[in-house]
Amino acid sequence: MPELRMEHAVPAVGLADILERILDKGVVIAGDVTISLVGVELLNIRLRLLIASVDKAVEMGINWWQSDPTLSSQTRNATEQNRVLQERLDRLETLIARSPVEERQG
């Protein structure tokens, strides 16, 4: 007896293929939830979720992780340098404010 097989018009897509497509193209999920009691808004939650690869996010102009001090060592270094420079500037301004006007002019 011949073996009967069913042919599919659409090829089977695995989970890895779906995930690759999502990360390559990006997916946006948006929604709002509002809880009200007797016409008084008690809680409003706005959800905006973007799922994409890092490359796609950078391409879209989203790169907050590069400037977040908790995620980037370069930003931590820059933050520390800014703090040190601000302290130096404060000391210089204090010294200038204490010096007599004649010394500053001459």
**Model confidence, pTM:** 0.42
Q: Which residues contact 26 (CB under 8 A, 6 or more apart)?
A: 50, 51, 52, 53, 56, 57, 60
pLDDT at 91 over 90: yes
| pLDDT the model gives residue 27 | 86
Is residue 56 within 8 Å of residue 25, measured between CB atoms? yes
What value does the CA radius of gyration of the chain take, rounded to a whole number of Å?
29
- Region for 40 from its dihedrals, namely left if φ exceeds 0, alpha if ψ lies in -120 to 50, beta otherwise: beta
Q: Which residue has the higher pLDDT, 25 or 7?
A: 25
Residue ranges covered by each domain of the chain: 11-62, 63-101
Which of 19-23, 52-56, 84-88 has the highest average model confidence (pLDDT)?
A: 84-88
